[in-house]
């Protein structure tokens, strides 16, 4: 699973700015207020479903939301985090709830992890100790402040850059250092899900300007995404079964595995989900799944694109890429 967050641009009202915080522009721009909320989710990488979602003020840290997600994760979860999340408090919360984690860390996190950035050492098992602020936060939540045993792993990317991951998976014989690069790459699924929610489902296209409307719109979009994703999973299973049957019968198949076109699938679902919620029967879903199966794309693994670097905060809303809502 993966936990990540994103900032939502809210309607420009003083009420929402006071409730959620945000960014106030310079006086040269008439002190324009840009209300923003922090949206965080616990995402199942295998299925693409959101297990738990939170909308909170932008002033709240990502770690606070991440700690709230943990109680909603399954007992056997391994949760992936990007930079910005690692802290003694969050690690201790995982230990308390017996959840495994893998977090990307930045330089300066600890002396032991900085050695991995600066040398060819592959991994290190060390004791993570709390600072004064971490002790105060842990005591506030009735958590112990004992040193925690963690493992840091050095990952060398194809670009030559070095990443260091912090994890609770201590057994290097069971999970060797070489596996962590592929493991952490799975986290990219949650990044794509935010694009799915913001662009295709138009998460920031609000239906009202009240505080209650913000929470209602977010959870309605998450519900719609989960329902459509469930149908996509069923359609994909049918496609894979048909491909496997052709291979078994020595029939010609396409070079690349066919995957459901998620944009088209969501477009089809938006007309049928309401009917299904009113009358939840298989007869409502079977024709819809058949139409989803007929719209596919070739899956070409291994493709990658250089990430664009942006600076500052734009006052504009993101382009509705492939909008369907």
Question: DSSP string of 190-214?
Answer: HHHHHHIIIIIS-TT--S-SSHHHH
Range of the domain at 56: 2-187
pLDDT of 255 reads: 84
Q: How far apart are CA 259 and CA 235, in angstroms?
A: 9
pLDDT of 176 reads: 93
Contacts of 53 (CB under 8 A, 6+ apart): 39, 40, 41, 42, 218, 219, 222
Are 165 and 241 contained in the same domain?
no
Q: Is residue 308 part of a domain?
A: no
Are 129 and 154 contained in the same domain?
yes
Q: How far apart are CA 306 and CA 264, in angstroms?
A: 26
Q: How far apart are CA 187 and CA 80, in angstroms?
A: 6
pLDDT along the chain (325 residues), means of 10: 94 91 71 87 95 92 89 93 92 93 92 89 92 90 90 89 93 91 92 90 92 94 91 91 91 86 85 78 83 83 68 54 51
Are 90 and 46 contained in the same domain?
yes
Are 274 and 179 contained in the same domain?
no
Are 154 and 282 contained in the same domain?
no
Looking at 71-155, list the stretches that DSSP marks H as alpha helix, in order from N- to C-terminal side: 88-97, 111-118, 132-140
Number of structural domains found in the chain: 2
Q: Is residue 103 part of a domain?
A: yes
Q: How far apart are CA 13 and CA 30, in angstroms?
A: 14
pLDDT of 310 reads: 64
- Contact (CB, 8 A) for 59 and 17: no
Q: Is residue 320 part of a domain?
A: no
Q: Is residue 323 part of a domain?
A: no
Tokens 């990952």 belong to residue? 155
Are 174 and 232 contained in the same domain?
no
pLDDT of 62 reads: 86
Are 182 and 197 contained in the same domain?
no
Are 18 and 161 contained in the same domain?
yes
Q: Centre a 10 Å sphere on the Cβ of residue 283 and count the other Cβ atoms it contains.
A: 7
- What does pTM read for this prediction? 0.86
Strand, coil or helix: 124: strand
- Contact (CB, 8 A) for 177 and 154: yes
pLDDT of 125 reads: 93
């Amino acid at each position: 699973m993966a936990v990540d967050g994103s900032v939502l641009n809210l309607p420009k009202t003083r009420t929402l700015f006071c409730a959620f915080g945000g960014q106030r522009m310079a006086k040269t721009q008439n002190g324009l207020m840009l209300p923003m909320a922090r949206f965080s989710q616990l995402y199942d990488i295998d299925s693409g479903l959101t297990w738990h979602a939170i909308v909170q003020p932008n002033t709240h840290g990502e770690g606070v939301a991440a700690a709230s997600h943990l109680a909603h994760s399954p007992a056997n979860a391994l949760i992936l985090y990007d930079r910005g999340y690692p802290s003694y408090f969050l690690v201790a919360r995982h230990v308390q709830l017996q959840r495994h984690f893998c977090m990307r860390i930045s330089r300066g996190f600890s002396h032991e992890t900085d050695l991995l950035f600066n040398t060819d050492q592959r991994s290190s098992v060390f004791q993570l100790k709390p600072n004064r602020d971490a002790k105060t936060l842990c005591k506030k939540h009735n958590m112990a402040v004992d040193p925690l045993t963690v493992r840091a792993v050095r990952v060398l990317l194809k670009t030559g850059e070095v990443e260091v991951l912090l994890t609770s998976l201590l057994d290097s014989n069971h999970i060797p250092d070489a596996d962590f690069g592929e493991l952490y790459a799975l986290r990219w699924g949650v990044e794509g899900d935010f694009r799915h929610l913001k662009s295709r489902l138009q998460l920031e296209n609000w239906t009202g300007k009240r505080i209650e409307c913000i929470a209602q719109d977010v959870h309605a979009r998450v519900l719609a995404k989960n329902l459509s994703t469930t149908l996509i999973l069923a359609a994909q299973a049918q496609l894979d079964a048909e491909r496997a049957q052709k291979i078994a019968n020595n029939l010609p198949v396409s070079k690349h595995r066919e995957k459901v076109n998620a944009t088209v699938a969501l477009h089809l679902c938006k007309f049928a989900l309401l009917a299904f919620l009113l009358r939840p029967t298989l007869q409502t879903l079977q024709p819809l799944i058949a139409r989803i199966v007929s719209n596919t794309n070739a899956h070409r693994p291994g493709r990658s694109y250089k990430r664009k670097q942006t600076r500052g905060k734009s006052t504009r809303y993101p382009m509705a890429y492939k909008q369907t809502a």
